[in-house]
């Protein structure tokens, strides 16, 4: 449900581009939404990792640890970007973009490593 909510804060950020007085609040709200998604995903994966019956038998402990490590840093980065939004909302918006791009590149790199050449 948190992901389905994301278009609303995204629209707020888009509208705040034209209103300097609203950009700080929009950047913080957008970051808080992204942080909530990251926290929920981390909690969901943590619950799955603790209950191995929810995973396929061929999933190794190394793969579980790899996913946990890949998702955890984004929580800290989102918190830092939210703090940055207090002082420099446009830079925080750029930070949110960088976090997303790095996350996609990391996920693609994991897939490339997992697949035999």
Is residue 38 a contact partner of residue 99, using CB atoms and an 8 Å limit?
Answer: no
The pLDDT value given to residue 109: 63
Is residue 50 a contact partner of residue 83, using CB atoms and an 8 Å limit?
Answer: no
**Model confidence pLDDT, tens digit, residues 52-68:** 888 888 888 888 887 77
Is residue 9 a contact partner of residue 33, using CB atoms and an 8 Å limit?
Answer: yes
pTM: 0.81
Asked if the model's pLDDT at residue 74 lies above 90, the reply is no
Nearest Cα neighbor of 110 from 73, 77, 66, 71 is 66
Asked if the model's pLDDT at residue 115 lies above 60, the reply is no
């Amino acid at each position: 449900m948190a992901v389905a909510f994301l278009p609303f804060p995204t629209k707020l950020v888009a509208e705040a581009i034209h209103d300097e007085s609203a950009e700080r609040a929009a950047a913080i709200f957008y970051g808080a939404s992204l942080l909530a998604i990251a926290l929920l995903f981390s909690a969901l994966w943590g619950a799955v990792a603790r209950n191995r019956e929810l995973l396929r038998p061929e999933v190794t402990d190394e793969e579980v640890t790899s996913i946990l490590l890949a998702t955890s840093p984004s929580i800290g980065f989102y918190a830092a970007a939210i703090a940055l939004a207090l002082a420099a909302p446009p830079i925080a918006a750029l930070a949110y973009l960088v976090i997303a791009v790095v996350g996609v590149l990391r996920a693609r790199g994991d897939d490339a490593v997992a697949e035999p050449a």
